C-alpha cells in the first residue's frame, strides 16, 4: 500500500514515514508542494497524507489541481489548523478526511486503511477470497481457518492482489504499490514473493497472465 506523505516539518515527516512503514505502508515523503505535485504525476498512490502549510505550493492548491485533473485518490489532510472553517474548506476542496495535529499514529493508519478500503467500494475491513481471510488492520492472514505466517512484503502483495481481485496487475504496478522511493528492489522480487505466496497458499489461487502480470480470480459466490 503505497502512500504519499507531504509534510514540510522534518521531525514530523521522519516520524510519519517510519510510523506508517511500521503499519505496513510504503511511504514516499516530499517536503514541498511542487515536489508533491511531481510525485503525484509520476506514481500511483493508494492515498495521500497532506499538510496544508507547505512551501512553494499550498496543500489546498495541490488538492484542487488533483481533483481538477479527475484524480480520485483518497486524501487525508493533516494540519495544525483546527478552525471549523478550515476543515470545511479542506473537505470542500476535495479532501476525504481531516486530522488536526497532534494526532495518534494508529488512528491515522486506521483512517488511511478505511479511506483506501472505501475508495475501492468495500465496506468490510477484512478481505475474503477462496478461503483466504486478510485483516489489514491486524495485519493477519488465515487460510482455511488456519493462521498464516507472511513477511511484510508478502502480506502487502497478497493485500494488493485481493483488493484488485479479478484484475490483472503488472509487475511494475505491483512493485510501484509495494515499494517506496529508495527501497532496494531486486529485478525479480515480485516473482519471488508470488512464488512464496503460492507455496504458502495454493498454487492455483494466483494466476499468471504471461507477459502481462498476475491475477487473483474474483469468486462471485463469496
Out of 65, 67, 81, 139, the residue judged to bind other proteins by CB under 8 A: 81
Q: Which is nearer to other proteins, 12 or 43 (CB)?
A: 12
- Quote the least distance from Cβ 118 to other proteins, whole Å: 24
Cell of 148: 498464516
Q: E strand or H helix at 24, and its extent?
A: none
Q: Are 26 and 56 in contact (CB under 8 A)?
A: no
Tell me how far, at minimum, the Cβ of 32 lies from other proteins, in Å. 5
Site for other proteins in 26-45 (CB under 8 A): 31-32
**Contact at 8 Å (CB) between 28 and 43?**
yes
Among 28, 129, 22, CA closest to 73: 28
**Interface with other proteins includes 64 (CB under 8 A)?**
no
Number of residues that bind other proteins (CB under 8 A): 28
Q: Which stretch binds other proteins (CB under 8 A): 48-56, 132-140, 172-180, 195-203?
A: 48-56
Site for other proteins in 112-171 (CB under 8 A): none
Contact between 9 and other proteins by CB under 8 A: the answer reads: yes
Identify the DSSP state of 200: H
Per CB under 8 A, the segment of 18-26, 37-45, 187-195, 211-219 that binds other proteins is: 18-26
- Answer whether 59's CB lies under 8 Å from 77's CB: yes
Q: Half-sphere exposure of 72 toward its Cβ, with a 13 Å CA cutoff?
A: 6
- Return d(Cα 209, Cα 222) in angstroms, integer: 23
Give the footprint of other proteins on this chain (CB under 8 A): 8-12, 14-16, 18-19, 22, 31-32, 53-56, 78, 80-82, 100-106
Amino acid at each position: 500500500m503505497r502512500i504519499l506523505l507531504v509534510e514540510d516539518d522534518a521531525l514530523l515527516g521522519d516520524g510519519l514515514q517510519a510510523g506508517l512503514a511500521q503499519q505496513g505502508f510504503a511511504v514516499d515523503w516530499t517536503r514541498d508542494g511542487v515536489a508533491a505535485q511531481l510525485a503525484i504525476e509520476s506514481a500511483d498512490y493508494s492515498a495521500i497524507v497532506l499538510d496544508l502549510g507547505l512551501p512553494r505550493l499550498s496543500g489546498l492548491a495541490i488538492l484542487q489541481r488533483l481533483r481538477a485533473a479527475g484524480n480520485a485518490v483518497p486524501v487525508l489532510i493533516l494540519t495544525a489548523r483546527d478552525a471549523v472553517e478550515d476543515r470545511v474548506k479542506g473537505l470542500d476542496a476535495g479532501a476525504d478526511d481531516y486530522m488536526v495535529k497532534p494526532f495518534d499514529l494508529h488512528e491515522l493508519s486506521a483512517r488511511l486503511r478505511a479511506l483506501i478500503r472505501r475508495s475501492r467500494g468495500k465496506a468490510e475491513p477484512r478481505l475474503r477470497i477462496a478461503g483466504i481471510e486478510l485483516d489489514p488492520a491486524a495485519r493477519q492472514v488465515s487460510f482455511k481457518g488456519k493462521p498464516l505466517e507472511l513477511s511484510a512484503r508478502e502480506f502487502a502483495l497478497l493485500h494488493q492482489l485481493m483488493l484488485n481481485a479479478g484484475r490483472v496487475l503488472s509487475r511494475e504496478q505491483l512493485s510501484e504499490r509495494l515499494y517506496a522511493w529508495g527501497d532496494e528492489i531486486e529485478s525479480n522480487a515480485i516473482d519471488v514473493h508470488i512464488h512464496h505466496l503460492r507455496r504458502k497458499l495454493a498454487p492455483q489461487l494466483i494466476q499468471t497472465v504471461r507477459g502481462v502480470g498476475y491475477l487473483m480470480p474474483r469468486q462471485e459466490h463469496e
